[in-house]
Structure 1
Amino acid sequence: MDKPFEDHGLFSWCELMTNDFDNSMAFYNKVLGWTLREVPGRNNSRYALVMNENSSQPFAGLLTMPEQLEKRGVPSFWQAYVTVDSIEDTLAKATENGAEVLLPPMDIERIGRIASFRDPQGGVMSVIRYNR
């Protein structure tokens, strides 16, 4: 059985990076009926866990746009996280094949290590190595 939080190359999480946190929360609550529970964010950011009526476990998150991306004029977007064995090795392979690093490797307390890149066709992806 696949283990998205452990197996290299599997999608494991999804987040909306938004420039308008409150309106994004209200929109998805009204449109999809999602329950959004705000929890402490990092570095003055806001974060909400996303759940639906059939689950008490979160399946996604919403967060305020990180300053590094906001300064670059990046609009709000949904990002998908793919589990990898090594953030550094994955970024090296991505850049060797034409990707641009958007968010350099960083540690997320209690979660793991993440980074984001834009592929040569313009697609943005985030990679994560969960703490085990």
Structure 2
Amino acid sequence: MDIKLSQCFIAVDDHDKALAFYRDVLGLEVRNDVGFENMRWVTVGSPTQPDVEIVLEPPLADPHASAADRQAAAELLAKGQLRGVIFRTDDCDATFERIRSAGAEVLQEPMDQPYGVRDCAFRDPSGNMLRFNQPRTR
């Protein structure tokens, strides 16, 4: 049996701001940007991983969700409590400088971790934590 990751989801409160960050700052390509059932279906991905996409979705994409549930999800997103993603990079320090110079909120400057990576962390425009790691050579 061969199982591979196809899509993962990141909650965003503004698709246009999210696209500006994921496309223009991180360099991901836009795969889809279409209307779907009164919502917007937006996917991005790395040009080097054509079979993996990140879906940028509203905090609660369920059309049957109550107003209270939508509000609760929006509040969790604003606190950065919903989802996080870890990206792999071949140069953590250069990636950090590029993202910081674009104005992203820094959560952690590059540092060596005891589990074998050098990593840094930011918040995206919606508040999600994004980590960028580089395997350390021994």
Query: Normalising to structure 1: TM-score of the pair?
Result: 0.42
Query: Normalising to structure 2: TM-score of the pair?
Result: 0.41
- Structure number with larger C-alpha Rg: 2
